[in-house]
Structure 1
Amino acid sequence: MNDFFIKTKRIGLRKYRPTDLESFAAINADSRVMEFFPEFAKLSPAEAEDVMERMNARIDLHGFGFWAAENLDDNQLMGFIGMQQVPYETEFTPAVEIGWRLAVDYWGKGMATEGAEACLSYAFGELKLKQIVSFTTPLNERSIRVMQRLGMTQRGSFDHPLIPEGHLLRKHVWYCLESADY
């Protein structure tokens, strides 16, 4: 079944299917994947199912979202890659963020960069967005390197409003890419 919103050489980005639940739950419960997210961000299988449903609803509503990222070599769910409207207020909102979360087996292979580059092309080409942001804790050097490879530049830092004061991961850096620079 070819129901991809975006397709690259190795990745298909699509809505979530019920058959994704086991893999999606495992990815979101893996302490290595969730290292730079607060403990409360780890998902139980029931929570993972709810998140998949909410992500699909956002895709239906906006025409984009954090899509299920499928490895085209074996049709396995790798995690997610995509964009969403930032759902809280910060110094750079309103904005659309680009993000990724992949199973450890797909790290270090350029998958996040490949999928995110395709999302940027879609964002600036099809959606005609003027800018895309991305953010993470300064400790997450892997994601920062992906942002830099995408041509994004650091614009500042902020305290993430959904992470409690005093938490090690509250401070975030944010990066931006303008359509004119793409």
Structure 2
Amino acid sequence: MTEILTPRLLLRQWQADDLVPMAEINADPAVMEWIGDGSVLDLEETADAIERWEEEWDDEGFGLFAVELLGSGELIGFTGLSVPHFLPEVLPAVQAEWRLGRQFWGQGYASEAAQAVLEWALQDRGLEHVIGICRTGHEASENVMRKLGMTLEREAVDPVYGFPLNVHGIDLTEYSG
């Protein structure tokens, strides 16, 4: 599996000792507020999610990286690419995703990691277009998407929860990093 190094982060494969810190991130109501119906995930649900993320690497040739803070080696969340099966109207699309622990918000880590993923998507995966999906009103994610150069492409509705969604996108042949 690929590893990506940025000035402050290591994007890497999942390790057994990532489960507990990722479960702690997923158990924080503030982190999960804008995801799905806002429900937190417990240890077992996080383990199942990591297993699905690892399977996507095998199925698609890309997936979600564990994001480690250089220097401390601390897991701060994830970033990467996935197929947004939950929103069939955008398929066949690939989305950039990120989720960080609350103590790591507002420090530019999400943008730094996602920019590295977009460069990897273009250079190593040969993707021409990547989208980002967030619930309408989630300003922090909207800000990261703007920093990445993504623009609003369409509005949608989450077919399970009924929340309005914004779908942003970027043509990677025009991506400047």
TM-score normalised to structure 2 length = 0.93
Match of 1:157 among 145, 155, 159: 155
Quick one: distance in 1 between partners of 2:41 and 2:6?
28
1:152 partner amino acid:
M
Does the 8 Å contact 2:87/2:158 carry over to 1?
no
Match of 2:169 among 156, 161, 176: 176
1:174 partner amino acid:
V
Match of 1:146 among 144, 151, 169: 144
Check 1:41–1:83 CA distance in 2 against 1; reply closer, same or farther (3 A cut): farther
Structure 1 residue 180, shift from structure 2 partner: 2.5
Structure 1 residue 63, shift from structure 2 partner: 2.8
Residue aligning to 1:9: 7
- Structure 2: where are the runs of 5+ without partners? none
Does the 8 Å contact 1:15/1:59 carry over to 2?
no
1:44 partner amino acid:
D
TM-score normalised to structure 1 length = 0.90
Quick one: distance in 2 between partners of 1:120 and 1:89?
21
Counterpart check, 1:48 vs 2:46: yes
Quick one: distance in 1 between partners of 2:86 and 2:51?
20
Quick one: distance in 2 between partners of 1:136 and 1:89?
11
Matches within 5 A, 1:34-45: 34-39=32-37, 41-45=39-43
Residue by residue over 1:71-125, the C-alpha shift from the partner in whole angstroms, topping out at 9 and shown as x without a partner, is 1121011010111112244332110000100001111111000000000001011
Does the 8 Å contact 1:69/1:80 carry over to 2?
yes
- Structure 1: where are the runs of 5+ without partners? none
Residue by residue over 1:120-143, the C-alpha shift from the partner in whole angstroms, topping out at 9 and shown as x without a partner, is 001011111110000101121000
1:120 partner amino acid:
L
Q: How many residues align?
A: 175
Residue aligning to 1:97: 95
Match of 1:76 among 74, 77, 91: 74
Residue aligning to 2:107: 109
Structure 1 residue 39, shift from structure 2 partner: 4.2
Q: CA RMSD in A?
A: 1.5
Quick one: distance in 1 between partners of 2:27 and 2:13?
20
Runs of 4+, deviation exceeding 4 Å: none
Structure 1 residue 40, shift from structure 2 partner: 6.1
Check 1:31–1:89 CA distance in 2 against 1; reply closer, same or farther (3 A cut): closer
Does the 8 Å contact 2:29/2:39 carry over to 1?
no
Check 1:40–1:148 CA distance in 2 against 1; reply closer, same or farther (3 A cut): closer
Q: Quick one: percent identity of the two aligned structures? A: 33
